[in-house]
Amino acid sequence: MEFNVGDIIKARKKHPCGEDKWEILRVGVDFKLKCVGCGHIITLNREKALKMIKEKM
C-alpha cells in the first residue's frame, strides 16, 4: 500500500482521546502522524507505523 502526505489512515488501536483516525504529515524512514480527534502529533519509525495501520480511508 502506498501512503502520501495528507492521507487519512485508520489505526488498529484507538488513541486515548477515543479516535482511531490519523492524518499523515510526513512519509519516509519515519512517519509523522496527527490524531484527527485531538491534534496530538507522533513520530514512528516506518516498521511500527505500518504495523499500526489497519486501512487507508
**Does some domain include residue 51?**
yes
Residue 41: predicted pLDDT: 97
What's the grid cell of residue 44? 514512528
Nearest C-alpha neighbor of 21 from the set 7, 32, 9: 9
Q: Which domain holds residue 12?
A: 8-56
pLDDT digits (tens, 9 = 90+) for 11-36: 999 999 999 999 999 999 999 999 99
Q: How many domains does the chain have?
A: 1
> How far from 48 is each of 9, 33, 40, 42, CA to CA, in Å?
14, 12, 17, 12
**Does some domain include residue 44?**
yes
For residues 6 and 31, give the distance between their C-alpha atoms in angstroms, rounded to a whole number.
Answer: 12
Residue 40: predicted pLDDT: 97
**Does some domain include residue 1?**
no
Residue appearing with cell numbers 482521546? 17
pTM score, whole prediction? 0.88
**Does some domain include residue 16?**
yes
**Does some domain include residue 3?**
no
DSSP state of 29: S
**Does some domain include residue 25?**
yes
